[in-house]
Amino acid sequence: MSYFGVDYYPEHWPSSQMEEDLTGIKGLGANMIRIGEFAWHVMEPKEGEFDFSYFDKVIEQAKAYEFKVMFGTPTATFPAWLAHKYPSILSKDEYGTVREFGGRRQYCFNSEEYREYSARITRELIKHYRNEEAIVVWQVDNEFGHEGSDQCYCEQCKRAFQKFLKEKYNDIHELNERWGTIFWGQTYNDFTEIPAPTPTITTHNPSLKLDWARFRSFSLNSYAHQMTEIVREEKGPHQEITTNVSGGFFDKWFDHEENLRPMDFVSYDNYPVWGGLEQPIPPSEIAMTLDFNRGLKGQNFWIVEELMGAQGHDVIGYLPRPNQAKLWSYQAFAHGCSNMLYFRWRGMTRGAEQFCYGVIDHDNRYGRKYHEVKDVFTEMSKYDQLLESPIEAEIAVLYDYDNIWSWRAQTQSKDFHFNQELMRLYQPFYDLNTKLDVIPADRDFSNYKVVLVPVMQVLNEELATRLKEFTKQGGTVIFSFRAGLKDKDNVINFGQTLPGPVADLTGIRVEEIESLTAEHRLSVKGEHDLSQEESYVNIWRDLIVPEGAETIYRYTDSLYKEYAAVTRNSYGDGEAFYIGGGLDVEGLRPLVKKVVENHNIDYEESPIGVEVYTRVVDEKEYQFIMNHTEEEVSYMNKVLAPYETQIVKK
């Protein structure tokens, strides 16, 4: 059975309001509420005085409506008395400025006091409700690392960083050697001399920056796992554990697969538009975020915060059009969401989120959004089996956080963004309505037909070997630029022409390189069966000399028209493409369509803005046909109104 519901904050309203609220939530067709994730002070108003009586009453009333409950552990917002007693729990930004009490998540993961007090409230809470049959899921904290909370540059973190390095390298001479601290005379005699990468003149050592990123990930994940272990120890056997992943996951300083490892399932907060954005992120990028979350554990996931109203703190922007947030909900279900809670039941009148509009607004009326949510729950409650059915993709997109952090340490082009470069390869496959998994590079990808490897500059021999084996067995691999530049220390490979460990696989040599801006577009011309194609690259270009590979596109500027821009190399029973720059999606389309057809991968050609996603249940096919535009569209003898979704049994 799937859960459908809302995020509910009864503690924000008079208790007299609860009856009416629970009746209204029930009227949606809901069977779950999420509560508690910011209510530490309600449960421990004074140090050591635990009082769960308020939430006991909330749960009793919720049970009268037969709601199940997801309960959030409240460590994302600690009480003022704790910060007052231990100011050292407050994190610091790179300038040494304390993140003052008053927001949220402003705690330091390396504060021993914070770990002690948050472990205690977590343990007391779970012990109190371990036998509560209505509570079926614990959510650990809230959106780990979001809003800049994954970084802290305080003294505790600096000392913990030095300890982290000592355990990794053991010998300071090894660190000096691998980091190349001889450069600019930075040789360390002792680990205690090593700084956190706070602002300096020009820039820090790239190996230090990458190890600092790994340390941030270690700090956050060891805290998250410590809290999760407590929940696991104390919870009842009928209760599961999750945590909610926020958007912007490629811009975070922690490995999400590692973060979710001890959890029973992944939960995601789906906000296609947030804050002052003029427009939502494109439908293809929303789809990628959903595929990323499904990829974290290779299984369907929950959404515990689905956007329904405009959202923001001090600034808000675009208003989701009628049925558009409903469409985003269906898109999430199509891509593997199995249970959904909307954020939030009613917008709050006081505090920092007055402009985070909910299912209903401050006027307490049940309007358009209420009925859109009710429609979604009514429709999707018919598809329990479909929602649980697995999604079998034949195309995988690989990412690796070491590689992402290496790029963030030195973007090389002022307009480089990892997300943009992953989307560059993802987009044309999405536009053909194929299914894609977005997975960590260390996952086994041998059973896919196509593997996309966006800007994998940190690419070691182990990954190169698996990619060669995959291709030899008949797979298609598509690299984009800068592949194979560096090793895992963020050091450029010595004595290797690019693309380093995948040079033989790609059958090319990169002779020179040029960083480009977004505006600096260089034209490329197709060859052979793409001879009619013209396109351009921006952001970057590799000047390629084929060594066995065939040229697909070549540069046209006079001094460089001898060089290839895009190549294809036969390798074993498969093929390896190398996209040597930020190739425009139109230039990629013909190549992608051929790859999809050659591998007999199911695809649909739909009008721009119409997304088609097919799910299979007991060999029956169900197609989600989603109109992401504000125009009426026709597709396969169906007419879809603006932002309409139709689920069609084929």
List interacting residues with ligand GLA (CB under 6 A). 142-143, 246, 269, 305, 311, 343, 353, 356
C-beta of residue 498 within 8 angstroms of C-beta of residue 542: yes
When the beta carbons of 303 and 463 are compared against ligand GLA, the nearer one is: 303
Say which entry of ligand GLA, Zn ion, none residue 356 contacts (CB below 5 to 8 A, set by partner kind): ligand GLA
Tokens of 62: 């919720």
φ/ψ bin of 4: left (φ > 0), alpha (ψ from -120 to 50), beta (otherwise): beta
Say which entry of ligand GLA, Zn ion, none residue 527 contacts (CB below 5 to 8 A, set by partner kind): none
C-beta of residue 508 within 8 angstroms of C-beta of residue 607: no
Alpha carbon distance 440, 64 (integer Å): 44
Q: How far is the CB of 274 from ligand GLA (least distance, A)?
A: 6
Alpha carbon distance 635, 464 (integer Å): 42
The beta strand positions in 505-630, using DSSP E, are 508-515, 522-526, 534-546, 550-555, 564-571, 574-579, 581-583, 610-617, 620-627
Q: How far is the CB of 218 from ligand GLA (least distance, A)?
A: 23
Residue 450 CA: distances (Å) to CA of 50, 99, 453, 510, 596 = 54, 45, 10, 23, 8
Say which entry of ligand GLA, Zn ion, none residue 220 contacts (CB below 5 to 8 A, set by partner kind): none
CA 148 to chain centre: 15
Residue 149 CA: distances (Å) to CA of 77, 93, 316 = 12, 9, 21
Active site residues: 143, 305
Closest residue to ligand GLA, Cβ-based?
Answer: 311
Say which entry of Zn ion, ligand GLA, none residue 227 contacts (CB below 5 to 8 A, set by partner kind): none
Alpha carbon distance 76, 310 (integer Å): 23
When the beta carbons of 44 and 306 are compared against ligand GLA, the nearer one is: 306
C-beta of residue 613 within 8 angstroms of C-beta of residue 626: yes
When the beta carbons of 85 and 561 are compared against Zn ion, the nearer one is: 85
When the beta carbons of 157 and 508 are compared against Zn ion, the nearer one is: 157
The secondary structure element, H or E, covering residue 647 is strand 645-649
Q: How far is the CB of 569 from ligand GLA (least distance, A)?
A: 44
When the beta carbons of 8 and 563 are compared against ligand GLA, the nearer one is: 8
Alpha carbon distance 242, 139 (integer Å): 5
Q: How far is the CB of 139 from ligand GLA (least distance, A)?
A: 10
Q: How far is the CB of 288 from ligand GLA (least distance, A)?
A: 18
When the beta carbons of 156 and 606 are compared against Zn ion, the nearer one is: 156
Say which entry of ligand GLA, Zn ion, none residue 477 contacts (CB below 5 to 8 A, set by partner kind): none
When the beta carbons of 269 and 575 are compared against ligand GLA, the nearer one is: 269
Q: How far is the CB of 502 from Zn ion (least distance, A)?
A: 39
Tokens of 314: 């001090």
Say which entry of Zn ion, ligand GLA, none residue 152 contacts (CB below 5 to 8 A, set by partner kind): Zn ion
Alpha carbon distance 318, 336 (integer Å): 26
Cβ atoms within 10 A of the Cβ of 491, count?
16
Determine the residue type at 23.
Answer: T
Alpha carbon distance 373, 360 (integer Å): 10
Tokens of 517: 């801006």
